[in-house]
Amino acid sequence: MPTRNSFGRDSVLTIAVIVASLLPFLLAPLRARLFGPDGRGEFAFFQSSFTIIAAASALGYRHAHYQRAHRQARPGSLLGRWGILATTAVGIVIGLPLVTVAFLQVGAPVGYGLLLASFAGPLFATTQLEVAEAQWQGNQGRVAALAGGPPAAEFVLNLVLFFSRSLTVATGIVVTLAAEALRIGTAIRSRVLRSKRLEATESLGDDPAPTAGDSTRLLKEAAVLAPALLAPLLASNIDAVIYGGLASTALLGFYAVSKIATSVLILAATTLEGRFLRLAHSRGVLWSSSVAVSLLLTLGALGTGVGHLVVPVLFGEAFRPSGSALPVTALAGVFGGLFVLLSARAAREGRGKSALHAAMACFAVVGLGCLSVSTGTSVTPTTMALPLVAAYAVACFSLIVVLIRNEKTP
């Protein structure tokens, strides 16, 4: 049974992870002032495209791990041949079109950075498996290393570049790639150590190590669960790709600054995913969702109030339209964060199809909404965020209804 000290240590580590994850966002004002609206738009395109490539190529391995662990099945191993081929293929298919757009319309540094990411599918999937294992086991120390270490390193490296007057769009991209490489290296090290422990227990006749068949079954489940897991990330990033193709990079730069509120809240929800799963199991979906919404709303309201006042001061008067859009982007973050948590709960309860349907609705609403807004007569950061709010709200309400019904079913 966990002791009071262990709970205290876990709480401290959780707070540390959240703080570390927020550190890169503190650099946003510096980037905005140094890059300007156009450069900020270029960097926003890179960040969104990189997130899409990393998330898509990793498929739904994190939720597949939760689902198999719930059934007390062996989680399997990404080292299987088909898993490596599948994640590599998805990364290339998704990444190369984005690379092409980057080289033709955005900039060469963005294109080269995305090209590297396009071939790293197996590495992204390995990282997600290790995150899932750490979350499921409640190993906050490993969660802290995987989720908190890279953002902290990114923050430090960016500061070094800033004070050495070397922070540009190109060097910012290099730092982002280096931070992700650190996360991948941490995950690989953790996986190697865990594999050695599995081999040791297998030699004693306990807990046989995963086989190739386990890896194949895990891949199939990951493919089925992928849309539900990817929808929040895709929906919160595909807008930048669409707007980047149909609007100027300067307008995208304004929108990217305002959408920091959305990203922060979704990131906070992802960090607390393991705790939400345990809370939902003991207290129910409705109660745990209420707690999550209350927390996210509090964070969103605080960030909106402060951000609306300080955006012109920190980012410059040119970014004042970004501050006006913060209430809408924060609301999108509340619904987006809740959707992340509910999707994880659905996977744990074996409701993958319900999560899939909600994810498809979410992606369709945000995609069509962004196309509609971008072709309108007046495009502003505020109107650009409306599709996110609508999409996440629809997905959340549909999943809550399904999960509550599932709890009431004997």
Torsions phi, psi for 144 (to 5 deg): -65, -40
Residue 174 has a pLDDT of 94
Residue with tokens 């969103």: 300
DSSP-derived secondary structure for 113-130: HHHHHHT-HHHHHHHHHH
E-assigned strands of 296-354? none
* % pLDDT > 90, the chain: 13
- Give, in degrees to the nearest 5, the angle at Cα 391 between 318 and 281: 115
- First vs last Cα of the chain: how many Å apart? 29
Question: Does residue 238 have a pLDDT over 80?
Answer: yes
pLDDT band at 171 (very low <50, low <70, confident <90, very high): very high
| Residue 171 · residue 113 · CB < 8 Å | no
The SS3 of residue 358 is: helix
Average pLDDT of 294-316?
74
pLDDT band at 5 (very low <50, low <70, confident <90, very high): very low
Average pLDDT of 145-156?
80
Rounded Cα–Cα distance for residues 380 and 326 (Å): 12
Question: Does residue 184 have a pLDDT over 80?
Answer: yes
- Cα–Cα distances (Å) from 287 to 237, 266, 284, 294, 400, in that order, read 29, 19, 6, 11, 11
pLDDT band at 35 (very low <50, low <70, confident <90, very high): confident
pLDDT band at 353 (very low <50, low <70, confident <90, very high): confident
Average pLDDT of 38-51?
90
List CB contacts of 217: < 8 A, sequence separation 6 or more: 68, 76
Residue 1 has a pLDDT of 42
Average pLDDT of 20-32?
76
Average pLDDT across the chain, whole number: 78
Residue 283 has a pLDDT of 66
Question: Does residue 173 have a pLDDT over 90?
Answer: yes
Q: Structure tokens of 346?
A: 């659905």
**Amino acid at residue number 407:** E
Rounded Cα–Cα distance for residues 265 and 51 (Å): 16
Rounded Cα–Cα distance for residues 115 and 106 (Å): 14
- Tell me the per-residue pLDDT of 188-208, one tens digit each, with 9 for 90 and over: 887 777 666 656 555 544 555
pLDDT band at 400 (very low <50, low <70, confident <90, very high): confident
Q: Structure tokens of 277?
A: 């799963």
Q: Within 10 Å of residue 363's Cβ, how many Cβ atoms?
A: 19
Q: Within 10 Å of residue 327's Cβ, how many Cβ atoms?
A: 19
Instruction: Choose between 349 and 387: higher pLDDT.
Output: 387
Residue 98 has a pLDDT of 93
* % pLDDT > 70, the chain: 74
- Cα–Cα distances (Å) from 64 to 133, 144, 336, 347, in that order, read 11, 22, 20, 7
- Tell me the per-residue pLDDT of 104-143, one tens digit each, with 9 for 90 and over: 888 899 999 999 999 998 898 888 888 777 777 666 667 7
Count Cβ neighbours within 10 Å for each residue of 157-187 and write b for 16 or more, e otherwise.
bbeebbeeeebbbbbbbebbbebbebbbebb
pLDDT band at 2 (very low <50, low <70, confident <90, very high): very low
Candidate from 2-6, 93-97, 101-105, 341-345 with smallest mean pLDDT:
2-6
Count Cβ neighbours within 10 Å for each residue of 366-396 and write b for 16 or more, e otherwise.
bbebbeebbeeeebbbbbbbbbbbbbbbbbb
Residue 3 has a pLDDT of 47
pLDDT band at 4 (very low <50, low <70, confident <90, very high): very low
Question: Does residue 309 have a pLDDT over 80?
Answer: no
Residue with tokens 């049974």: 1
| Residue 329 · residue 262 · CB < 8 Å | yes
CA atoms within 13 Å, Cβ hemisphere of 269: 33
- Range among 150-159, 198-207, 336-345, 383-392 with highest mean pLDDT value: 383-392
Question: Does residue 347 have a pLDDT over 80?
Answer: no
Residue 285 has a pLDDT of 64
pLDDT band at 6 (very low <50, low <70, confident <90, very high): very low
Rounded Cα–Cα distance for residues 159 and 225 (Å): 38
| Residue 390 · residue 365 · CB < 8 Å | yes
Residue 99 has a pLDDT of 94
Count Cβ neighbours within 10 Å for each residue of 250-279 and write b for 16 or more, e otherwise.
ebbbbbbbbbbbbbbbbbbbbbbbbbbbeb
Distance, CA of 63 to chain centre: 13
Rounded Cα–Cα distance for residues 271 and 265 (Å): 10
Rounded Cα–Cα distance for residues 66 and 63 (Å): 5
Rounded Cα–Cα distance for residues 320 and 255 (Å): 11
Average pLDDT of 67-74?
60
